[in-house]
Structure 1
Amino acid sequence: MKFFKLFVLMAAAVVANPTLAAGDAEAGEAKAAPCAACHGPGGSKPIAGNYPKLAGQGEAYLVKQLQDYKSGERDNAIMAGQAANLSEQDMADLGAYYASQEAEAGQADPDWVEQGAKLYRGGDMANGLPSCSGCHGPAGQGVDGAKYPHLAGQNAQYVEEQLKAFRAAGRNDLGDNVIKRTNDPASMMQTVAAKMSDSQIKAVASYITGLSK
C-alpha cells in the first residue's frame, strides 16, 4: 500500500508538468559565465562538495529549480540572488546549456557501495522505502519529462545534504537554523527521505556519486 501511494504521487507529478520555453544552449553558454564561479566550467567541477554538478542535468529540472529559487519556494540566499533577474527565457537557455554538457562520475566510498547499491536499486521494503532507481533510473539518468533529476556522478556531500533537508521538512521539532527543502513535486522526496536513517542517506549519496550515465 505504501508503494502504491508513492506511485500515485509520481503519476500526479508527471501529469502536472507544464510546457517549457524552448532553450538555446548556445545562448545559455554565454549566460552561464557567472555560474562557473561556483559550479565550475560547464558545470562539471563545483568549487566545493556541497555545490551541485550541473553538467548533464535535465533541462526541465534545472528550469524548475531556477524558478523555485526566484519565487522563494526553494530557500537558498545565494541562488535567490542569482535567479532574481533571470527571465523565463534565460532559465530555459541555461537549462539547455547544462543539459548539453557531459556529466562526470565521481568516486564512491568503497565502505558504502554495497549498502548504497542495495538501497538505490531495491530500496528497503520492510520499512516502506522505495528504490531510487524507480524514479531516477538504473544508471541515475533521471526522467527530465517528469523533472526527476539526473543523479549519476553528483557530489555525495550535496546529495546527502539535500536528502537531510527533505527529511527535515516534515519535522516540527527542529530549530530554525536547520535547512528544509519542500519544493519536490507532491512532496515525494520528503516522503521518501522521512524513512531514511543517516547511514542510509550516506550510503545512497556515496553510491550515486560513483554512477555514470
Structure 2
Amino acid sequence: MNRVFSPFVKSLFVAMLAVSSIAYAAEEKKAPAADAAKGEQLYNSGDASRGVIACAGCHGAAGNSTIVQNPKLAGQHAEYLAKQLADFKTPQRNNPVMSGIAKGMSEQDIKNVAAYLDKQESKPGAAKNKETVEAGKKIYRGGIAEKNVPACAGCHGASGAGIPAQFARLAGQHQDYTAAQLTAFRQGARKNSAQMTTIAKRMSDDEIQAVSDYIAGLK
C-alpha cells in the first residue's frame, strides 16, 4: 500500500510547497521596501485627505525640532520610529496630537517617514545647567546603585547613539522632552516600555532633570 500511495503523497507535498512559495512571494510583494523619498514628501507636506499634517511643522526641517517640547527626530533609528508611530495608534502611547496623526498613516507611510528621518543628520544640542550636568553624567554612565537604576549607557550607548531596532538614539535630544518622557513613564501615562517604566519610577525629579540635561549635550 505504501508503494501505491507514495507517488501521490510526494506529488501532494510538492504541490503544497509550491502553493506555500506562491503565498510567500505574494506576501513579499504586498510589503514593498521603505521609500525615503515618499517619506520626505509626507513629512514636509502631510496628506490632508487622511488628516495627516506635515510633520515638519512640529518637528522641524529634516527632523531637527527647535521646539523643546517636541522631539528631534533626525537620525533616529527607523525601526524605533516605526514602533513609536505604531504605538501611538494604541493606548500604550496615547497622545492627543500624535495619536490622531498616526491613525491616518498606513504601515507603508510609517516605514517611509521613518526611513527618511533615519537618513537625516541631527544637529547637536547642549547641556544648560552646569550645576547638575555632572550628576547627570554619573547617572547616565553609572546609574544609581542605591536605587537599582541601571546606567543609561548600557542600552543607549556611551555617546547616546542607541541600538537600531532596540533602543532609541538619545544624543542631543531636548532636555524638556526627555524629562517629560521619563516623567510620563514614571506616572504610567506612557506605557510602551515596561523596562523604562520600572527605571523611571525609581528616579526623583532632580535626577530626571539632571540626566535629561546631560543627554542634551551628548554628541
In the superposition, the TM-score normalised over structure 2's length comes to 0.79
Q: Provide the rounded CA distance (Å) in 2 between the counterparts of 1:44 and 1:90.
A: 20
Runs of 4+ aligned structure 1 residues displaced above 4 Å come to: none
Q: Provide the rounded CA distance (Å) in 2 between the counterparts of 1:189 and 1:71.
A: 18
Matched, 1:124 2:144: yes
3-state SS of 1:77 partner:
coil
Q: How far apart are residue 24 of structure 1 and its match? A: 1.8
Matched, 1:196 2:203: yes
Q: How far apart are residue 85 of structure 1 and its match? A: 1.4
| Structure 2 counterpart of 1:62, from 74, 81, 87 | 81
Q: Provide the rounded CA distance (Å) in 2 between the counterparts of 1:188 and 1:82.
A: 26
Q: Provide the rounded CA distance (Å) in 2 between the counterparts of 1:90 and 1:62.
A: 12
Structure 2 gap segments, 5+ residues each:
1-30, 45-53
**Cα deviation digits, residues 181-205 of structure 1 (max 9, x gap):** 1011xx0000110110111000000
User: Aligned AA for 1:99?
Assistant: D
Q: Provide the rounded CA distance (Å) in 2 between the counterparts of 1:22 and 1:210.
A: 34
**Cα deviation digits, residues 92-126 of structure 1 (max 9, x gap):** 01100111000112110222210011000000112
Q: Provide the rounded CA distance (Å) in 2 between the counterparts of 1:118 and 1:88.
A: 39
Q: 1:46-57 alignment to 2 at 5 Å?
A: 46=66, 48-57=67-76
Q: Which residue of 2 aligns with 1:149?
A: 168
Q: Provide the rounded CA distance (Å) in 2 between the counterparts of 1:45 and 1:164.
A: 21
Contact 1:121 1:133 in 2 (8 A): yes
In the superposition, the TM-score normalised over structure 1's length comes to 0.81
**Cα deviation digits, residues 107-153 of structure 1 (max 9, x gap):** 1022221001100000011211100000000000011122x110000
3-state SS of 2:113 partner:
helix
Contact 1:165 1:181 in 2 (8 A): yes
3-state SS of 1:140 partner:
coil
Q: Which residue of 2 aligns with 1:40?
A: 60
Q: How far apart are residue 22 of structure 1 and its match? A: 3.5
Q: Provide the rounded CA distance (Å) in 1 between the counterparts of 2:104 and 2:56.
A: 17
Contact 1:21 1:92 in 2 (8 A): no
User: Aligned AA for 1:53?
Assistant: K
Structure with bigger RCO (C-alpha 8 Å, 6+ apart): 1
Structure 1 gap segments, 5+ residues each:
1-19, 170-179
Q: How far apart are residue 21 of structure 1 and its match? A: 6.8
Q: Which residue of 2 aligns with 1:30?
A: 41
| Structure 1 counterpart of 2:191, from 182, 185, 201 | 182
Q: How far apart are residue 81 of structure 1 and its match? A: 1.5
Q: How far apart are residue 72 of structure 1 and its match? A: 3.4
Aligned residues: 179
Q: Provide the rounded CA distance (Å) in 2 between the counterparts of 1:164 and 1:21.
A: 37
